[in-house]
């Protein structure tokens, strides 16, 4: 069973993402912000990280950069799931090492298609 | 004598200008207090509705995830009923996200309004202590300048970047893989 780390400061968003992923058979670990996400990813290896961008303590892009510095996370897919949709922000995500960018609100089926694709 | 009279008139005018700024700051602060109250009430109503929906959603979601865990995926996928329920829940997921985003938007606006009000209260606090030399226009002018700085700083909070959810609905749900 693949494990996915879902990072979002909104409890509702975490619940929505977790439900969709668990309904498709994934195991989900949740984190409330980038700093907690980094701690959890370091403590437990995960197969995919899905993170929000705007969060207290550590934002999504900083989390991506921090994870990419770790040997275990050089190639693990990382998706940004955020309300930010500007081309400039997406370019920053790409430069930071993100695998993809999804704009909220997300369509559950689309999220699952993307997850299956990047985990292949 | 004429110079004294002019200075006294100047001090009176400057004092009136300072009073005018107090009126502006007070009125703005009162209006913003109403706005903050309305935003709070809207958020309470939304939260109430969202909590009811979330309770209903959780009841169904927990059952379907539990079913997914006990039965092999292929068996479940064959079940039409399971697929139908899951589709309904997925639709609910999309709408519940919108509730959450609106809630975040209201939070961001409340933060802005509160920051504006803090600056206006600061401006009003500057008007409280008695002027040391009320006969000198410079004292009133300096006070007005400081109050005006606070009021302008409050108004400029409108332009401050807040953690506001994006509003570009055309891009909602879009995917870019790098």
Model confidence pLDDT, tens digit, residues A26-64:
999 999 999 999 999 999 999 999 999 999 999 999 999
CA distance B101 to B165: 6
Residue of B94, B166, B175 with shortest CB distance to A83: B166
Q: A3-119, which class in CATH?
A: alpha beta
Closest residue in B to A117 (Cα) is B177
User: For the ranges A4-8, A57-61, B47-51, B115-119, which has the lowest average pLDDT?
Assistant: B47-51
B37 lies in some domain: yes
pLDDT at A60: 97
Could you give phi then psi for residue A5, rounded to 5 degrees? -95, 120
Question: CA A87, A7, A11: angle at the middle one, nearest 5?
Answer: 110
pLDDT at B165: 60
- pLDDT mean over A94-117: 96
- Give how far B52 is from chain A: nearest CA, Å: 13
**pLDDT higher for B5 or B147?**
B147
The yes-or-no verdict on residue A77 having pLDDT over 80 is yes
- pLDDT mean over A87-97: 96
- pLDDT mean over B16-31: 93
Please, which pLDDT band fits residue B163 given cuts at 50, 70 and 90? Answer: low
B70 touches chain A (CB under 8 A): no
The yes-or-no verdict on residue A66 having pLDDT over 90 is yes
A3-7 sheet: strands from edge to edge: A27-31, A3-7, A48-51, A78-82, A100-103, B175-177
User: For the ranges A58-72, A88-102, B90-104, which has the lowest average pLDDT?
Assistant: B90-104
How many structural domains comprise chain B?
A: 1
CB B97 to CB A20 under 8 A? no
pLDDT at B73: 61
pLDDT at B152: 92
**pLDDT higher for B164 or A59?**
A59
This prediction has a pTM of: 0.78
- Give how far B176 is from chain A: nearest CA, Å: 5
Residue B5 Cα distances to B10, B137, B175, angstroms = 9, 12, 74
- pLDDT mean over A58-71: 97
Q: Tell me the H-state helices in chain A.
A: 11-23, 34-43, 60-68, 87-96, 108-119
pLDDT at B72: 62
CA distance B104 to B108: 6
CB B97 to CB A106 under 8 A? yes
Residue B24 Cα distances to B19, B151, B175, angstroms = 9, 9, 48
CA distance B159 to B152: 12
Question: CA A44, A45, A47: angle at the middle one, nearest 5?
Answer: 135
The yes-or-no verdict on residue B7 having pLDDT over 80 is no
Mean pLDDT (chain B) is: 85
Are residues B67 and B126 in contact, defined by beta-carbon separation less than 8 angstroms? no
Q: Which residues contact A67 (CB under 8 A, 6 or more apart)?
A: A38, A41, A49, A73, A76, A78, A97
pLDDT at B77: 60
B169 lies in some domain: no
Mean pLDDT (chain A) is: 96
Closest residue in B to A9 (Cα) is B104
b/e code B106-115 from CB counts within 10 Å (16+ = b): bbbbbebbeb
CA distance B134 to B130: 8
**DSSP label at residue A86:** -
- pLDDT mean over A81-109: 95
From chain B, the residues in CB contact with A12 under 8 A are: 50, 54, 96-97, 99-100, 103
B108 lies in some domain: yes
- pLDDT mean over A64-73: 97
pLDDT at B169: 64
The yes-or-no verdict on residue B107 having pLDDT over 80 is yes
B83 touches chain A (CB under 8 A): no
Q: Which residues contact A99 (CB under 8 A, 6 or more apart)?
A: A77, A78, A79, A118, B177, B178
Residue A96 Cα distances to A60, A66, A80, A115, B16, angstroms = 10, 9, 11, 19, 57
B43 lies in some domain: yes
Residue of B73, B97, B166 with shortest CB distance to A84: B166
Are residues B92 and B57 in contact, defined by beta-carbon separation less than 8 angstroms? yes
How many CB pairs (< 8 A) connect A and B? 96
Range of the domain at B132: 2-163
Residue of B58, B172, B178 with shortest CB distance to A104: B172
């Amino acid at each position: 069973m693949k494990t996915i780390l879902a990072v979002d400061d909104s409890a509702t968003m975490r619940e929505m993402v977790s439900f969709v992923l668990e309904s498709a058979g994934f195991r989900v670990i949740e984190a409330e912000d980038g700093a907690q996400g980094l701690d959890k990813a370091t403590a437990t290896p995960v197969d995919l990280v899905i993170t929000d961008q705007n969060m207290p303590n550590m934002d999504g892009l900083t989390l991506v950069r921090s994870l990419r510095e770790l040997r275990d996370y050089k190639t693990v897919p990382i998706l940004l799931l955020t309300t930010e949709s500007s081309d400039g922000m997406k370019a920053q995500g790409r430069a930071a090492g993100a695998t993809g960018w999804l704009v909220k609100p997300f369509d559950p089926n689309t999220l699952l298609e993307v997850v299956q694709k990047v985990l292949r | 004598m004429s110079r004294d009279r002019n200075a006294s008139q100047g001090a009176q005018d400057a004092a009136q200008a300072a009073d005018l700024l107090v009126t502006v700051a007070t009125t703005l602060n009162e209006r913003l207090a109403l706005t903050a109250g309305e935003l709070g009430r809207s958020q309470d109503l939304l939260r109430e509705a969202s909590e009811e929906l979330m309770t209903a959603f959780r009841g169904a979601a927990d059952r379907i995830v539990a079913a997914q865990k006990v039965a092999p995926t292929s068996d479940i996928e064959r079940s039409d009923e399971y697929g139908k329920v899951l589709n309904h829940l997925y639709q609910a997921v999309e709408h519940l996200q919108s509730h959450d985003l609106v809630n975040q938007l209201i939070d961001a606006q409340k933060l802005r309004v509160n920051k504006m009000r803090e600056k206006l209260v600061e401006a009003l606090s500057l008007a409280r202590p008695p002027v040391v030399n009320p006969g000198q226009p410079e004292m009133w002018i300096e006070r007005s300048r400081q109050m005006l700085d606070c009021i302008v700083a409050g108004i400029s909070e409108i332009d401050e970047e807040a953690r506001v959810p994006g509003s570009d609905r055309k891009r909602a749900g879009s995917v870019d893989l790098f």
